Amino acid sequence: MEMTLGGVSLLALFLETLFYGVFLTLYWITLFILLKKSGIQRELLIPVVTLLLCLATAHLIIDFIRALEAFIFQVNTIGADAYYSNLASSLELAKMTLYITQTILADSVILWRCYVIFNRSLLIAIPGCVVLLNNGGTFVPATAWMDVFYILSMIISNTCTILIARRIYRTRRFMSGGLAALLPIFIVILESGALYAMSVVALIVTLLTRSNGQYIVLDIVAPIMVSLLLLG
């Protein structure tokens, strides 16, 4: 039996907060590393990862406000389920606009990383930019266009992730034995953007199955996007 919309939204808020805390910690570690570097790694990566974090923070704040309204301020008026089912509310529209903005930025980051790793190959840049521009053209927080937006985002994230992971896997020397062997694998997953790519796939699956789990995945994707530039 599937959870109610109010219950799913509350679970989504808990998981979003959990993921946000993890990646906030990694953000400060990454910032400390990048401040010791120079050139494009410092001038470009720091503003971009900070912007991704700010968008994720705004997304989390809106979710907290919505939870307060649904379970405290308006619980005796319309109830939590009815509150969350109103997709035309100003807070819901603001939340989706933040998500779309963050997704376009995240897809741009993973495409740029793939382009750089493959020695600035035009075979990577041109098709990727075409898909990204088409995705930017669907920048409308409406149900009719969101499915197209999600699918195009999945194409960009998964294609680039597979290419990046393959290149990193082939160039890194893996340590063997014990827990030490897990560290390089974790680095490949983090640097390739695999967490983000898997979350986009999970979102598509929950959308196709019309599951309320889509609301959980939507909320946890926001902090996961920050991982695209962490420890990179």
Average pLDDT of span 77-98? 88
Phi-psi region of 230 (alpha: psi -120 to 50; beta: other; left: phi over 0): beta
How far is residue 63's CA from residue 142's CA, in Å, rounded to a whole number?
19
CB 46 within 8 A of CB 31: yes
14-18, 43-47, 124-128, 222-226 — most confident range: 14-18
Segment 19-46, tens digit of pLDDT: 999 889 888 888 887 787 776 666 777 8
- Residue 59 tokens, joined: 């997304």
CB 93 within 8 A of CB 141: yes
CB 225 within 8 A of CB 20: no
CA nearest to 194, candidates 159, 150, 220, 148: 159
